[in-house]
Structure 1
Amino acid sequence: MKLSSSDKTLHIIIYILLIILGMVTLYPFWNSAVISFNVGMDTSRGGVTIWPRQFTLDNYKIVFQDNRILHAFYISVMRTLAGTAISIFLTAIFAYGLSVKGVIGKKYYMIFAIITMYFSGGLIPFYLVNRELGLMNSFWVMVIPTAVSVWNMIIFRTFFMGLPVGLEESAKIDGCSTFGIFFRIVLPLSGPVLATLSLFTAVYHWNDWFTATIFINKTELFPIQTMLQQILNSNIMSEQLTIALKGNGAAADAMSRMQSVTTKSLTMATMMVATLPIIAVYPFVQRFFVKGVLVGSLKE
């Protein structure tokens, strides 16, 4: 269809606004990557924005030579894999139980589950529960307490209720058990919602740093995000110490050379290492994303 001049003008304005919005959104990430590839002392002079002024790989060499960071990366990978698999399985099977017709008390189970979305005991009771369960200073404290998501359960349940009833009835006539129906029929048909909710859950586990900070004291169990938080805190402390020593020019200059600049460059490099893996997952699930987000919107 041929567009009028006013429509063409409107399209041009929309494209310009989208390009500006994309650039504003992308620039902070791009600038962090540029700083991570730039010489630390040169970065402290300012003016490093679009492209590295003095290119170097020293920041990434330090990251990959630090066993603590590599081990934290390993912990994050294992936590994301285990946490996502356990959470999706338990949430899906819970949702399927609430979607099957004839389940006694299904309405009340749903009400109890929804209440937990709006009310919680708070951080202190949560801490005490984890301590009494023996989860403190363990890998599983980052996985088990958040294994079931009520919001994801509601999305799963909406999708399951939209599946044809005849599939389940036919399977029962053929002698298939409830678990057989769930694993052989329901899950294979749930690709879009499984991919979408798995992505959401994986992003949560990968980005979460607070849980390890509160419930874990062993640095060998810290995920990469908690380790990054410690690096950021050390950078802030170094900058504050440099400001405090500002009256002593020689001491401040030495502190800047040894800690502030190096820590900032190392922070950006560590942030890139921590961010890129989860970003790389998006293209593989993009085709399921829209379909999974809109699940249930076209079902009666």
Structure 2
Amino acid sequence: MAKKRNEVVEDRIFNIVNITLLSLFTVIIFYPIWNIVVQSFSSLDALADSGLRIWPKEFSFESYKLVFNDETIWRSFIISVLKTVLGVLTHVFFTAMVAYGMSKSNIFGRNIYTALGIGTLFFSGGMIPTYLLIRSLGLLDSFWVYIIPSLFSYYDMIIMMNFFREIPDSMEEAAKMDGAGVWKIFLRIILPLSMPVLATIALFNGVFQWNDYMTAKLYISSEALYPIQMKLYEIIVQQEAANMQNVTASVVIPTTSQSVQLATIVIATIPIVMVYPFLQKYFMSGIMIGAVKE
């Protein structure tokens, strides 16, 4: 009895400490995000007063009106949506095709393909050779620079390949006996059964595509093709430049660019936050099933 009581007390102490630490960790992560949202709903005059807030000071939609009235931000938002949706669909489909082929042990040259693929995980050509390759392909200042270089990922292929290996061969053999070809088996059987891993890879690639601004910074010079993250980067750079000029001239720092920056951050975050709950149920199952080999 005494031993059981000690175990109960130890469990309670562990739970209290665990909940306390996790709650503190949650607050540390969540509050900076909440502070950005709060300040984005504060008036332009209230933004001049720096500091952390729990609730908006002088509640106002001025920042969002400035963002919604800016046609360039709307255009950048549309570019981000298009490149994310198209990039995810093409990336998942092309990576799944390669993974399905590589999941077959009798494929010709499989060991060579595996060795070459593993090499890409450790070595890359570097920024300058990659830029020269993009230029030679005619992808500079093109929307397709967001899509074509991201069609395939060997790391994602490994996850998918291990998942496909878990699908019983008897299902494919039965489909072949009914006259189904490779493409029909892949599209009608393999892909529908692989929704957990497909959703997981889609989430990975979708977050990358939505948050990516370096591609636009390196390969895009036309503002008409800027995604929302690149537009946000420009706003931040302009604000920092204006702040430096104001400090040098000893004048009051304007808050207009800061308000647009905060509102743009909130708007740019909303789509990912809305999509994540729908894919979360597939997330853990896709990772675990695709990564564990019994």
Query: Aligned match of 2:209 in 205, 222, 236?
Result: 205
Cα deviation for residue 48 of structure 1 reads: 4.4
Alignment check: 8 A CA contact 1:41 1:262 kept? no
Name which of 274, 283, 290 aligns with 1:296.
290
> Is residue 31 of structure 2 the alignment partner of residue 5 of structure 1?
no
> Which consecutive residues of structure 2, in runs of 5 or more, have no partner in the other structure?
none
Structure 2 matches for 1:160-175, cutoff 5 A? 160-175=164-179
SS at match of 1:292: helix
Q: Which moved more, 1:107-116 or 1:81-90?
A: 107-116
Q: CA separation in 1, counterparts of 2:165 and 2:292? A: 12
Q: Which consecutive residues of structure 1, in runs of 5 or more, have no partner in the other structure? A: 247-251
Contact 2:159 2:291 in 1 (8 A): no
1:152 aligns with 2:146: no
Percent identity between the aligned chains?
40
Q: Does 1:268 align with 2:262?
A: yes
**TM-score, length-scaled by structure 2:** 0.95
Is 1:105 paired with 2:109? Answer: yes
Aligned partner of residue 216 in structure 2, secondary structure: helix
Query: In the alignment, does 2:278 pair up with 1:284?
Result: yes
SS at the partner of 2:149? coil
Offset at 1:41? 2.2
Residue 249 of structure 1 corresponds to none
Report the 3-state secondary structure (helix = DSSP H, G, I; strand = E; otherwise coil) of the residue aligned with 1:4: helix
Kept after mapping to 1: 8 A contact 2:216/2:227: yes
Q: Is the 8 A contact 1:152 1:197 kept in 2?
A: yes
1:72 and 2:66 matched: no
CA RMSD of aligned residues (A): 1.4
Q: How many matched pairs?
A: 290
Q: Does residue 134 of structure 2 align to residue 130 of structure 1? A: yes
Cα deviation code 1:241-292 (max 9, x no counterpart)? 111112xxxxx13xx2xxx311111100000000111111111111111101
Structure 2: which amino acid aligns with 1:198? A
Partner amino acid for 2:267? V
Following the alignment from structure 1 to structure 2, what is the Cα–Cα distance between the partners of residues 166 and 64? 55
C-alpha separation between the residues in 2 aligned to 1:241 and 1:147?
43
Taking the aligned partners of 2:132 and 2:31, their CA distance within structure 1 comes to 42
Q: Which residue of the other structure, out of 63, 67, 78, is the alignment partner of 1:63?
A: 67
Cα 1:124–1:297 change in 2 (3 A) is closer
Q: What is the TM-score when the length of structure 1 is the normalising length? A: 0.94
- 1 CA distance for matches of 2:37 and 2:126? 38
1:196 counterpart = 2:190: no
State the distance in 2 between where 1:160 and 1:48 align: 49
Does the alignment pair 1:94 with 2:98?
yes
Counterpart residue type for residue 13 of structure 2: T
Residue in structure 1 matched with residue 30 of structure 2 by the alignment: 26
Contact 1:38–1:52 (CA under 8 A) maintained in structure 2: yes
Would the aligned equivalents of 2:162 and 2:291 in 1 still touch at CA under 8 Å? no
The aligned counterpart of 1:227 is 231
**Residue type of the partner of 2:37?**
A
